[in-house]
Amino acid sequence: MERDLILTCDAGTTGCKVSLIDAKGEALFSVRRDYPTLYPRPNWAEQDPDMMVDAVLDGIKEILQQVSPQRIACVGLDGTMNGCIPVSAEGKVLHPNIIHSDSRTEAQVQQICKVIDPHDFYRLTGNRPDTHYTLPKMLWFKQNLPDVYARTKWFLNLKDYLYYRLTDRLGFTDYSDASLTAAMDITKWSWSEELLRSLELDVAHMPRMLPGTDIRGKTTRAIYYRTGLITGTPVAIGCGDGCSTARGAGLSDPGSAYAYIGSSGWVSQLLDHPVFDPEERTFNFLDCDGKSYHVIGTVQTSAAAFDWALKNLMGSQEAPIDISRMENMARQIQPGAEGVLFLPTLMGSRSPYWDPNTRGVLMGFSLYHDQRHIARAIYEGVAFALNSCAEVLEQYGEPITSMMLTGGGARSGLWPDILSAVFGLSTKVHKAPGECTSLGAAFVAGVGAGIFSSFEDATRTVKARSTHPVNPAWQKAYAEIYPIYRDIYERVRPLNDRIAQLGEDN
């Protein structure tokens, strides 16, 4: 029987998705298993890695009821980035995974900034000093749980621990996850031993780096008994979910980009070099190949801001409106919403402002305006926020040559048209906006297993469900109102700082 399918395991924040993908880039079957996030203290966010593995294995067992295990050519992995799982030499998890959204490490970030200038840190790692990265979490373990630190052999990310459980190969990672620990010299593709030593952290705790396409790992007999997956099936070490999403979006040529519209949003461009923005508004991480770079600007709340407006501004709790009605309302209003503007910074801001005090703004309305104007402004505000990221990428990087839209928001009939006009660039909507991450994991494993000859070969299978050329009239309208949107933040920042201080005083 021909081995013609790739089994992928996408370990996300709220759950995992196990999929079967063929050599044409088609997802044949998918199953999902959810797992909880624990919040034991304010600003803490943890997950049980073994519970996550059990969810993945349950998903594999179920999906193999759909096809013969003999058709599985290889396994592809991806997972959330910026985590921190201390694991013993015997492979035992010593503490729950401190996940990407955890921000307990402010004191450790300040300590890092004392041993290295923040600007030098950005030039070294491609990232700003921040609580969400792995490096300050390692330091937190050393300072707050020294017994755990003493017993730790490896600090791993989520998919690295899953790789170990599938293959018994412990202490490995790929270049993408390694680069978003913020403990890596991003231009030398190696751990920054000087930085780690300056923080009195042991470089021996850092896993060994492999290209994501490495398939020397093979599933064990225990996995066969647990799931039915044939012993010896090749497993690629895989990559972080940001890397796999980019590959699944079809990025292969330098300059190509995609925009993701989910709860958060971002614009990511693939280049052959990192981009060091003098204002440090964007960040970088390596591709799983260890050669290319992903340069990203992130919007903290995109569809999340849209959902908030849908529930709280459009309709009422007793009579809420649905998304299609909101979109129809927005379509009745011309670009620019007749002067109504929306700043979707409802949970602070990452790119381009990096300001936790920033709050949402709805302005420019009068007795003349109604909910249709607000609806239009919501769509446009999210598009403007994504454009503020794209602007920085092009300002200090290279021109964006193509733009694929992904995420749940890409299914909108309106956002793609708005974004093409705001970007000034024709956009395409991915054929399966919600499958990009699993598809990218399949590409990485498929290149390693020889199903695809290269990433360029793999991404040729990516198709668009629709193409949205630039509407010149809309582009002109947005060129007039976007500069006003861009000025809002600086104008209201002093007020937001005062509001934040008021909250602290109370």
Read off the pLDDT of residues 364-390 as tens digits, 9 standing for 90 and up.
999 999 999 999 999 999 999 999 999
What is the pLDDT confidence band of residue 101, given thresholds at 50, 70 and 90?
confident
Residue 83 has pLDDT above 70, yes or no: yes
Share of the chain above pLDDT 70, in %: 98
Query: E strands within 182-226?
Result: 184-185, 190-191, 208-210, 217-218
- For the stretch 170-215, pLDDT in tens is 999 999 999 999 999 999 999 999 999 999 999 999 999 999 999 9
% of the chain with per-residue pLDDT over 90: 90
Give the other-Cβ count within 10 Å of 198's Cβ. 13
Closest by Cα among 353, 445, 434, 486 to 163: 445
The predicted structure's pLDDT at residue 270: 96
Residue 41 is predicted with a pLDDT of 93
Q: What is the mean pLDDT of the chain?
A: 95
Predicted TM-score (pTM) of the model is 0.92
Statement: residue 317 has pLDDT above 80: no
Mean pLDDT over 69-88 rounds to 97
Q: Tell me how far apart the alpha carbons of residues 80 and 250 are, in angstroms, rounded to a whole number.
A: 20
User: How do the residues of the chain divide into helix, strand and coil, expressed in percent and rounded to 5?
Assistant: 40, 20, 40
Mean pLDDT of the region 403-408: 94
C-alpha pair distances (Å), 460 with each of 102, 249, 265, 453: 37, 11, 25, 11
Second-level CATH architecture of 303-388+472-505: 2-Layer Sandwich (3.30)
- Fold that domain 250-301+390-412+425-468 belongs to in CATH: Nucleotidyltransferase; domain 5 (3.30.420)
pLDDT given for residue 1 in this prediction = 66
Please determine, for residue 249, whether its predicted confidence score (pLDDT) is greater than 90: yes
Categorize the per-residue pLDDT at 397 as very low, low, confident or very high, splitting at 50, 70 and 90.
Answer: confident
In the chain, list all ranges with CATH 3.30.420.40.
5-242, 250-301+390-412+425-468, 303-388+472-505
- Mean of pLDDT values over 382-408: 94
Cβ-contact 218, 234 below 8 angstroms: yes
DSSP 349: B
Which of these CATH numbers, 3.30.420.40, 3.20.20.480, 1.10.287.70, 3.50.50.60, describes 5-242? 3.30.420.40
Least confident span in 84-93, 179-188, 208-217, 317-326:
317-326
- Residue 32 pLDDT exceeds 60: yes
Helices (H) and strands (E) counted in the chain, each on its own, are 17, 24
Inter-residue contact 440 to 3 (CB < 8 Å): no
